[in-house]
Amino acid sequence: METQASGQGPAGSPPQAASPPKKLPPYRQASRLTHPEDSVIKLGAHAIGGPEFVVMAGPCSVEADPQMLGTAWDVKMAGAHIIRGGAFKPRSSPYSFQGLAEEGLKMLAKARELTGLGIVTEVMDSSDVDLVESYADILQVGARNSQNFSLLKRLSRSRKPILLKRGLMNTVEEFLCSAEYLLAGGNESVILCERGIRTFETSTRNTLDLSSVLAIKERSHLPVIVDPSHASGKAHYVAPLSRAALAVGADGLMIEVHCAPELALCDGDESLTPDAFRTLMADLACLAPSFGRQISTLPDHGLKLADQGGK
């Protein structure tokens, strides 16, 4: 019986060429071609990138102990999983409130002690990484620093998860290349955040690109959350955009909440009140199962964050 050689067509037909291997994109380690399974980033009792829909909430800026601790407790009781708050604030104007630096970090640490929830906060400069890392559970890279490659290289050596926000003018490929700097340096715990891009539209602060969630998940294994607060700049847009983010397949949200938005030193117009945030969390908990997600119950007050080492 005549056998057919591998790679050849039927007898008498020309040989069939083997399919060429797929070309790797410039973001090799972030690509699904090298890592087909979704990455899941664990933080204490929660996991970002799995079935759980994780919500990070808190004020744009840490202003004072009563404000930070009150808001932290409010978002915990509403169902938030991680507390957000800025101790270092990049502002367009040099005269705007720039944050409280280490004093703000200490207030965030108090909020973690009070609530048992992990904290995410921004680091702006390579020289501040050691300081912020000693307090935070997740280090955030803001939109203005998304292509600050020296900072990304330094953070690639961090032992903490990194939340990388999309730059104001970044394409999806450029965004993933920024993530690649973190992965290539050895930090595999990278969370992406779509926070809106700058377009010609002026009716909102930025233009929330929800299609990027789909584009990123098609190309990359990294988890993606959405920040509807910075995207819209309007508190009354936050809830509908949050529901849309859940529907489109995002892994979570980052939402600004302030105990008194009208008195906020930063971004009060886009901050939810605790009552509005509580209503939103109840809505999301009802909707999540329809999209294959769940919003988990809160951990106990005394939760210790595994392998994070925060103060």
Q: Which residue has the higher pLDDT, 12 or 51?
A: 51
Residue whose C-alpha is closest to residue 197's, from 231, 228, 223: 231
Locate 234 and state its tokens: 């309007």
pLDDT tens digits, 230-264: 999 999 999 999 999 999 999 999 999 999 999 99
Residue whose C-alpha is closest to residue 182's, from 227, 216, 148: 148
Q: Which residue has the higher pLDDT, 51 or 300?
A: 51
**Range 287-309 average pLDDT:** 67
Q: In this model, does residue 156 exceed pLDDT 70?
A: yes
pLDDT tens digits, 38-53: 999 999 989 999 999 9
Give the burial string for 205-232 (b: 16+ CB within 10 Å, else e).
bbbbbbebbebbbebbbbbbbbbbbbbb
pLDDT tens digits, 121-141: 999 999 999 999 999 999 999
| Domains of the chain, earliest start first | 41-288 (3.20.20.70)
Residue whose C-alpha is closest to residue 247's, from 282, 280, 289, 275: 289
Q: In this model, does residue 158 exceed pLDDT 60?
A: yes
Q: What pTM was estimated for this model as a whole?
A: 0.89
Longest Cα–Cα distance of the chain, Å, equals 87
| One-letter amino acid for residue 47 of the chain | A
Q: In this model, does residue 83 exceed pLDDT 60?
A: yes
**Range 84-111 average pLDDT:** 89
How high does pLDDT run on average in the chain? 91
Q: How confident is the model at residue 98 (pLDDT cuts 50, 70, 90)?
A: confident
For the chain, give the percent of residues with pLDDT over 70: 89
